[in-house]
Structure 1
């Protein structure tokens, strides 16, 4: 019973660097596209408000 748990734990530990790298990549991408992202969110929010007002 212990072996699958250890394997899962090892897999999790091995996944951590990848997750950190992915998070860093996403953070860089986010900071790079921050302006576009903000404007997209704002337009979506405004559209959503309009839809909510309509319904």
Structure 2
């Protein structure tokens, strides 16, 4: 609609969870969840890290 080159919105929104689930970060990340609307909604994430014991 905007021209011959497609513009993809929200690249980081889609890529960050994938990056966090790939090595070497996957061994450190316990869970990634989309943030509540009051904390940023679709553009923010909660990243829960694994605890070293």
Taking structure 1 as the reference length, what is the TM-score of the superposition?
0.26
* Higher Rg of the two aligned structures: 1
Bigger fraction of residues in strand? 2
